[in-house]
Amino acid sequence: MVAGAAALNALVESAGQSGRIERSDLVRAHAALMRDDPDEGPYAGTVREDQNWIGGSDHSPLGAIYVPPPADLLDELLDDLIAFANRDDLPTLLQATVAHAQFESIHPFGDGNGRIGRALIGAILRRRGVTTNTVVPVASGLLARRDGYFDALGDYREGNLTPLLSVMLTSATVAAEEGRVSVQRIKELPADWAERTGARRGSTAAALLPAFFDNPVMNADEVEQIVGTAAQSVYTALARLEADGIVQEITGRKRNRVWAATDLMGELTALDGRIAARMKHR
């Protein structure tokens, strides 16, 4: 969760700051996303050099649902995709739909393609100025209709964009409407947290409140880096926030522990549920 949130957020933020999406942004996002994965970790941030496929056997593409292009075509295909993602002469959601579908069809990494490809939607929305401070959770709508979404990707690969564009437009609409509801609720959290904890201004506990608002899932090292405070002070502050019900340790381990902002994660979970419920009836 920590690596995934950081990786995908960095991809979107980079697109907004630079006004462009580069191949290096995708590679960096994959490196951060997969670096701790037990299988893909050694290949994190590396465009595949071997053939892969979706479905079927681990040993052969026989019976696979989809077989992506061979590795020797990836450089050309990725360059073409990046050029397309940086165009400004197309409707934004149409561009995001095609770029996402093309990325998933290229399938440039050994694993993590789905998450990177869905983050690419947010990066294009940010680059084109449709969003400025948040990410519209379009992926929640897509995954709520998983079978239809995968079928629509198959239609795209057969030359028919309409089904995928339809599900993308519906997902974007529902995600934006429900996201607006959650934004209003989330905006009230900092004041509520400050009242509940009663931490004095300038204390480490008080400094952690905006940090968790911006990064709802963090480990101790990330907390220490953000607030610039020694480890012991960080752990004391985390214990106070946990006692006040503002954060919760979610690993149950004694080492490499991770804390999540309880109320914020709860609202994001509720948002995902509302989007899924509405998508089932669209």
CATH fold of 2-135, please? Fic-like fold (1.10.3290)
| The CATH number of the domain covering residues in 189-265 | 1.10.10.10
Domain boundaries, the chain: 2-135, 189-265
**What predicted TM-score, i.e. pTM, was given to this entire model?**
0.88
Question: What span, in angstroms and rounded, lies between the C-alpha atoms of 71 and 49?
Answer: 5
Rounded average pLDDT over 15-35: 95
If you average pLDDT over every residue of the chain, what do you get?
92
Sign of the dihedral defined by the CA atoms of residues 82, 84, 85, 89, in that order: positive
Higher-confidence residue of 260 and 220: namely: 260
CA distances from 193 to 91, 168, 210 (A): 40, 36, 10
CA distances from 101 to 133, 135, 143, 155, 214 (A): 25, 19, 14, 10, 30
In tens, the pLDDT along 45-84 reads: 999 999 999 988 888 889 899 999 999 999 999 999 999 9
pLDDT for position 234: 86
